[in-house]
């Protein structure tokens, strides 16, 4: 009856992942059961990475999930653990899958995979997966219960074992109950043997016969019982790396088709890396799926987009962005309203970079632009901008009031490029925004929409603004009016007051003609209010100078004898070292800065260094001295001493990525924060070559990355190089971000 009652408890018990009833280990009386309930403390697994076929390092993997018991001295907490957890049968059985490790607090603190766990004390329980990922931590005395501990152990085990931990524990408890029955039969046999030893010959024979019968039955039952135990333990084997069957077709009904060999091969290659612990490797694998333009690849990419790392989701978006066929774009459009949140985001990001507009996607993108998720709205605004559909106007106008400042900037830019006439009023209101980047984006948008109603608000701001905004407003007014009174505010106002009543916006062709005429008239003219750096003029008062000090900056620019005389005069023999040119230009500019100019200086080679932590003003003397002490990295000579600036092996390389991240105020961020604002509105980059070190070294990807990062800021980026090839490669970084790219040296022209 007692066994039936306990079994009833087993069937009714519903807590702790369905692990069967709680029972203290010391109440199991069978020696066979006690043997199976002994806990063996394991040693710490090794923590060493392995090298992957692509050359990257994969984080280590433990032979099993494990639970670390941080313990030093007996305490109230450790006593509660012993009573409520360690003596619970379910816990002991769970340790068959999740190995317990006992260590002291000092050692736990030093473990690399526990670096993220704060406040480790005595006692603490920490559950980790085979990938050394922390699954759960219990430090409070009140939480030292099976109800808290067992679900964490089950979470770690269920991901790694073919059998659910709760099922294993529940099944084992049933066998333990059966073992107790067998133990009772063993005890009965012993008693019968004892009686036989003290009884007369007739009774002894009777007791022995009964004992023999029970023993024969017991032996068969024990063998069956042991076999059941072994079978259950075998089911707890770690999941094998089984080869997942490749899909052989896509679609259904009449639309169903076989996958091509190329599609099957792409899926097969992707699966080799999709579980890699390094998100950068997973992202690269996902992005490669986009090399085949088909709905089958769209389906695989959307599955891959379920990844929890944002970088992988964005890679899925880039992969989808390579799609061009109607078949693929239809699949992407369907993904905007079906599937999980990450799949929808991947589709949104895909449409943000597809090669052509796709009208059927616009309704779905408009819907996602109203999402409560910031990442989704960001992607939807980019995508609607790319779709070039005026139907997006209302939602983009609404986005001018988005709670995220960067999204307001993106919306303003999109409205300008789409020439949404209904946006003129809201954009004019943003001309007085406290965020300079929104003011800049609004003014530039008005210059593209070109309506008379915007001239008066622009004129009012032109009368009070300064710095870069004055420059932007001037360009906008010229673009709308086909007039140019430079920065003479009185002449602009005088003209407008006279012609406002009958003014009609001239054609874009008229504006282009006027600009060309003005440029010829102003050739050689220098506006005294503008600062000139390497021939680039700017009104900006918030500048970051980014200077390349890699070893190659010690080289001379090449000026052939047949170059024009003006080039020889500009670069005499004693001023042809690239660094000398850069130093001279910056020193002269710093000397001319007004006290209201905010600036900073960032130098880079293999490493990046900032003169100040942020923009500063009124320190031009200190800046001039700082620049005078700078020099390019001294090249390393094999076996000999390095120059004083050489540093590590990579010191003389060119980490353009890290330098630009620092210029955007994100030097300490592994993953860029697109929401962060920056005080600088202009960046000057002086470099003599392409990147050779850093997170991104591919020039086109580097330009795409920072152009995208700059969408929410509108920083003007100028690039100064020293030869045509470097200008050809890096020039788009400037032209796509409102700046200029110039060559300091001879560009090959005969003029």
pLDDT over 70 for what percent of the chain? 92
Q: What is the mean pLDDT of the chain?
A: 87
Question: Which residue is listed with tokens 């063993």?
Answer: 186
Q: Which CATH code is given to the segment(s) 532-743? A: 3.40.50.410
CA 32 to chain centroid, in Å, comes to 53
What are the residue ranges of helices labelled H in 607-723? Answer: 620-629, 656-663, 699-709
* Burial group, residue 210, by CB count within 10 angstroms (0-12, 13-18, 19+): middle
Average pLDDT, stretch 599-617?
93
Quickly count: other Cβ atoms within 10 Å of residue 41's Cβ.
11
Q: What is the pLDDT of residues 161-213, one digit of tens each?
A: 888 999 999 999 998 999 889 889 888 988 888 888 888 888 888 888 888 88
Please state the three-class secondary structure of 462-485 as a single string. HCCCCCHHHHHHHHHHHHHHCCCC
Band of residue 645 on the pLDDT scale cut at 50, 70, 90: very low
Quickly count: other Cβ atoms within 10 Å of residue 250's Cβ.
19
* Phi, psi (degrees; rounded to nearest 5) at 640: -90, 180
Question: Does position 225 have pLDDT exceeding 70, yes or no?
Answer: yes
Question: Does position 13 have pLDDT exceeding 60, yes or no?
Answer: no
Average pLDDT, stretch 225-244?
75
Question: Does position 52 have pLDDT exceeding 60, yes or no?
Answer: no
Token output for 360 = 């059927």
Model pTM?
Answer: 0.66
Domain spanning 18-169: which CATH class is it, in words? alpha beta
Q: Mention every residue, 6+ apart, whose C-beta is less than 8 A from residue 697.
A: 657, 690, 691
Q: What is the pLDDT of residues 132-142, one digit of tens each?
A: 999 999 999 89
Band of residue 18 on the pLDDT scale cut at 50, 70, 90: low
Q: Mention every residue, 6+ apart, whose C-beta is less than 8 A from residue 434.
A: none
Helix (H) or strand (E) segment spanning residue 544: strand 542-548
Question: Does position 641 have pLDDT exceeding 60, yes or no?
Answer: no
Average pLDDT, stretch 491-501?
93
Average pLDDT, stretch 33-51?
80
Token output for 659 = 């330098």
Q: What is the pLDDT of residues 446-488, one digit of tens each?
A: 999 999 999 999 999 999 999 999 999 999 999 999 998 888 9
Token output for 724 = 């045509």
Q: How many angstroms separate the CA atoms of 580 and 689, rounded? A: 16
**What's residue 308's pLDDT?**
75
Average pLDDT, stretch 75-89?
90
What is the location of CATH 3.40.50.410 in the chain?
Answer: 532-743
Quickly count: other Cβ atoms within 10 Å of residue 692's Cβ.
16
**What's residue 10's pLDDT?**
34
Question: Which residue is listed with tokens 């130093």?
Answer: 583
Query: Which has the closest alpha carbon to 383: 419, 436, 345?
Result: 345
Choose between 649 and 580: higher pLDDT: 580
Token output for 298 = 């769209």
């Amino acid at each position: 009856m007692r066994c039936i009652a306990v079994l009833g408890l087993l069937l009714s018990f519903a807590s702790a992942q369905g692990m069967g009833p709680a029972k203290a280990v010391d109440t199991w009386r069978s020696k066979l059961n006690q043997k199976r309930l002994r806990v063996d403390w394991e040693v710490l697994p090794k923590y060493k990475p392995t090298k992957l076929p692509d050359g990257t390092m994969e984080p280590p993997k433990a032979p099993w999930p494990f639970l670390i018991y941080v313990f030093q001295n007996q305490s109230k907490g450790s006593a509660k653990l012993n009573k409520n957890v360690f003596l619970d049968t379910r816990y002991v059985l769970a340790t068959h899958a999740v190995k317990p490790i006992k260590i002291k607090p000092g050692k736990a603190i030093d473990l690399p995979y526990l670096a993220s766990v704060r406040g480790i004390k005595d006692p603490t329980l920490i559950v980790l997966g085979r990938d050394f990922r922390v699954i759960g931590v219990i430090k409070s005395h009140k939480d030292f219960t099976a109800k808290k501990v067992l679900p964490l152990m089950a979470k770690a085990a269920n991901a790694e074992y073919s059998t659910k931990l709760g099922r294993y524990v529940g099944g084992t408890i049933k066998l333990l109950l059966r073992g107790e029955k067998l133990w009772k039969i063993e005890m009965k046999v012993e008693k019968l043997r004892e009686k036989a030893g003290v009884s007369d010959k007739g009774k002894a024979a009777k007791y022995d016969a009964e004992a023999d019968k029970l023993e024969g039955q017991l032996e068969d039952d024990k063998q069956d019982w042991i076999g059941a135990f072994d079978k259950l333990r075998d089911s707890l084997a770690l999941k094998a790396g089984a080869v997942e069957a490749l899909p052989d077709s896509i679609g259904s009904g009449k639309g169903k088709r076989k996958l091509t060999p190329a599609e099957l091969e792409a899926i097969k290659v992707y699966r080799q890396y999709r579980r890699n612990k390094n998100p950068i490797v997973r992202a690269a694998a996902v992005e490669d799926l986009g090399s085949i333009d088909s709905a089958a690849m769209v389906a695989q990419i959307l599955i891959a987009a379920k990844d929890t790392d944002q970088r992988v989701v964005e890679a899925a978006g880039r992969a989808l962005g390579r799609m061009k066929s109607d078949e693929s774009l239809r699949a992407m459009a369907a993904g905007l309203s079906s599937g999980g949140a990450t799949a929808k985001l991947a589709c949104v990001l895909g449409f943000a970079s597809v090669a052509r507009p796709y009208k059927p996607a616009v309704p779905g993108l408009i819907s996602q632009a109203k999402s409560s998720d910031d990442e989704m709205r960001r992607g939807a605004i980019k995508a609607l901008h790319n779709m070039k559909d005026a139907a997006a106007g209302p939602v983009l106008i609404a986005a001018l009031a988005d709670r995220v400042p960067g999204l307001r900037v993106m919306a303003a830019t999109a409205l300008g490029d789409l020439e949404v006439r209904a946006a003129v009023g809201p954009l004019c209101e943003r001309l007085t925004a406290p965020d300079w980047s929104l003011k800049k984006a609004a003014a530039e948008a008005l210059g593209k929409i070109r309506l008379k109603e915007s001239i008066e608000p622009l004129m009012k701001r032109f009368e009070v603004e300064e710095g870069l905004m004055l420059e932007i407003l001037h360009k906008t007014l010229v673009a709308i009016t086909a007039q140019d009174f430079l920065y003479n505010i009185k002449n602009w106002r005088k003209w407008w007051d006279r012609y406002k009543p009958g003014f009609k916006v001239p054609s874009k062709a008229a504006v282009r003609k006027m600009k060309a005429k003005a440029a010829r008239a102003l050739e050689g003219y220098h506006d005294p209010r503008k600062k000139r750096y390497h021939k680039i003029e700017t009104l900006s008062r918030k500048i970051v100078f980014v200077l390349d000090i890699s070893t190659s900056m010690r080289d001379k620019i090449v000026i052939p004898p047949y170059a024009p005389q003006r080039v020889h005069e500009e670069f005499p023999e004693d001023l042809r070292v690239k660094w000398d040119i850069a130093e001279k230009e910056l020193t002269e500019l710093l000397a001319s800065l007004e006290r209201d100019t905010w600036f900073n200086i960032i130098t880079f080679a293999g490493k990046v260094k900032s003169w100040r932590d942020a923009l500063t003003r009124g320190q031009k003397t200190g800046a001039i001295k700082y620049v005078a002490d700078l020099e390019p990295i001294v090249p390393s000579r094999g076996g000999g001493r390095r120059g004083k600036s050489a540093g590590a092996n990579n010191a003389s390389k060119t980490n353009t990525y890290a330098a630009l991240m620092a210029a955007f105020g994100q030097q300490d961020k592994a993953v860029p924060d697109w929401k962060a604002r920056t005080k600088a509105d202009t960046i000057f980059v002086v470099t003599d070559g392409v990147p050779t070190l850093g997170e991104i070294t591919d020039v086109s990807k580097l330009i795409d990355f920072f152009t995208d990062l700059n969408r929410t800021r509108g920083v003007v980026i100028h690039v100064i190089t020293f030869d045509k090839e470097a200008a050809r490669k890096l020039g788009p970084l400037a032209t796509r971000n409102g700046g200029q790219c110039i060559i300091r040296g001879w560009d090959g022209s005969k003029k």
